[in-house]
């Protein structure tokens, strides 16, 4: 009797694992396809010979970020815009404009190309006509490293728990997005330019 119970348990466990794997495969396939499409765009529209995936950025617009080398051995970061419908955005992605936040703007440095107005105008243009995805490249040695960013935010922010440091885009400007929890337990988003760490904006969840 005990043997039958164990056999049935193993059978249901195997079925459960199989179903879970199939669900994961089905849900991940579109993401893999989009990643491969973005990689192909980089190889066809830049001088890079090979690229590796870095991270995904979902703000007002979504970008896949890659790194790679050109024929001279120079290392680059590349941001590739994703032209996707709302229903294609993976669950769990955070849209900053859709959550209750406080916008910390004191001592904000004016970066004209990063303003909301310029982004809104871009979005209107995007709707009016079909277009190719935006592709932005920057040499690695022209910007900050993750270690540089860590040093900067230690002086600027009151961080209780650092969640992530990742590359993104605001307007047409490459940025670093820092996600962290501050000493008041607020989930926070801090943005600085990739080039030199110029402050752009700072969002925090209200308690």
**Residue closest to 82 by CA, chosen among 19, 6, 168:** 168
In this prediction, residue 119 carries a pLDDT of: 53
Tens-place pLDDT, residues 40-94: 989 998 999 989 998 999 888 899 999 999 999 999 999 999 876 544 444 333 4
The pair of structure tokens assigned to 50 is 């090979």
In this prediction, residue 190 carries a pLDDT of: 97
- In this prediction, the residues of the chain whose per-residue pLDDT falls under 70 are 1-31, 84-130, 207
Phi–psi pair at 107, nearest 5 degrees? 60, 25
How distant, in Å, are the alpha carbons of 62, 80, 91, 112, 152 from that of 28? 17, 19, 11, 37, 35
Q: Where are the domains of the chain?
A: 2-205
In this prediction, residue 114 carries a pLDDT of: 42
In this prediction, residue 10 carries a pLDDT of: 54
How deeply is 24 buried, as exposed, middle or buried, from its count of CB atoms within 10 A (0-12, 13-18, 19+)? exposed
Q: What is the pTM of this model?
A: 0.68
HSE on the CB side for 107, CA within 13 Å?
A: 4
């Amino acid at each position: 009797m005990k043997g039958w119970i164990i056999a049935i348990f193993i059978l249901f466990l195997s079925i459960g694992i199989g179903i879970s794997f199939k669900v994961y495969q089905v849900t991940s396939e579109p993401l893999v396809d989009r990643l491969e499409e973005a990689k192909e765009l980089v190889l066809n529209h830049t001088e890079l010979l090979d690229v590796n995936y870095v991270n995904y950025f979902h703000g007002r617009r979504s970008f896949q970020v890659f790194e790679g080398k050109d024929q001279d051995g120079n290392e680059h970061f590349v941001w590739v815009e994703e032209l996707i419908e709302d229903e294609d955005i993976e669950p769990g992605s955070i849209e900053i404009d859709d959550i209750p936040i406080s916008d910390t703007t004191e001592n904000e440095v004016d970066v004209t190309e990063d303003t909301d107005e310029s982004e809104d105008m871009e979005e209107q243009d995007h709707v009016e006509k079909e277009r190719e995805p935006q592709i932005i490249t920057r040499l690695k040695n022209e910007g900050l490293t993750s270690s540089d960013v860590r040093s900067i935010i230690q002086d600027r922010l009151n961080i209780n728990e650092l969640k992530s440091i990742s590359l993104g885009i605001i307007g047409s400007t490459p940025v670093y997005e820092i996600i962290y929890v501050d000493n008041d337990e607020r989930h926070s988003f801090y943005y600085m330019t990739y080039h030199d760490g110029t402050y752009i904006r700072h969002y925090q969840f209200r308690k």
